[in-house]
Chains A and B, each alone.
Chain A
Amino acid sequence: DAGVTQSPTHLIKTRGQQVTLRCSPISGHKSVSWYQQVLGQGPQFIFQYYEKEERGRGNFPDRFSARQFPNYSSELNVNALLLGDSALYLCASSQYTSEAFFGQGTRLTVV
């Protein structure tokens, strides 16, 4: 079975640009969560979606948005990129419990 897949794996953007990250959950998982991991820190919760509805939002500015599609895949959008947005963005899918299965992440570099 395929695990959580994220695309792209690496991305370089310029300050002020917009970026879209994509995630496909494990088959049968209806919940997708997004996390930001800055080097040397633990993942920080950004969003959780379940059955296409936002279930939770972390302490991130409105420049961050997300959505979930009918096939349970998800996109994370970040507008007006700042240097501080450089990080590993992780997507995690889960089924009935809160146990999270992470993808390999998207490494975003803002220059």
Chain B
Amino acid sequence: GQQVMQIPQYQHVQEGEDFTTYCNSSTTLSNIQWYKQRPGGHPVFLIQLVKSGEVKKQKRLTFQFGEAKKNSSLHITATQTTDVGTYFCAGGSNDYKLSFGAGTTVTVRA
């Protein structure tokens, strides 16, 4: 079955620095979604990418979908303490099922 892998598992970032988290699928995806989960909270939808090579920006967050629609990345610039949490990618397939990666847990040093 479809597997989605994320790296790194943990990201410790100095406030103000940039970082990137990566997501890879074993199969071609119909779409990729990104979610953020704060400690003790539930996943909150950030964005969905559908087209091959698509790039979308949300303020300091930049999301990319690979040309082969099997990988994606999330790049955060000028990290802030509000960026703390776990970022999940979720691969969507034609059967509407979402396959989540294990997440990248981000901590920020002030």
Contact = CB atoms under 8 A, between A and B. Distances in A.
Contacts of A42: 4, 6, 88, 90, 100-103
A56 B93 CA distance: 11
Interface string B85-99: 000101010011111
Nearest to B1: A59
Interface string A37-52: 0001111110010100
A97 B48 contact: yes
Interface stretch (A16-24, A66-74, A98-106): A98-106
A102 B44 contact: yes
Interface in B34-88: 35, 41-45, 48, 88
B107 to A, nearest CB: 14
A58 B97 contact: yes
A48 B102 contact: no
Contacts of B1: 59
Interface of B: 1, 4, 6, 31, 33, 35, 41-45, 48, 88, 90, 92, 95-103
Q: Which 6 A-B pairs have the closest CB atoms?
A: A42-B100, A102-B42, A98-B92, A56-B97, A43-B100, A102-B43
18 contacts: A31-B96, A42-B4, A42-B102, A42-B103, A43-B88, A43-B100, A45-B97, A45-B100, A50-B96, A56-B97, A90-B42, A98-B33, A98-B48, A99-B48, A100-B90, A102-B42, A102-B44, A105-B42
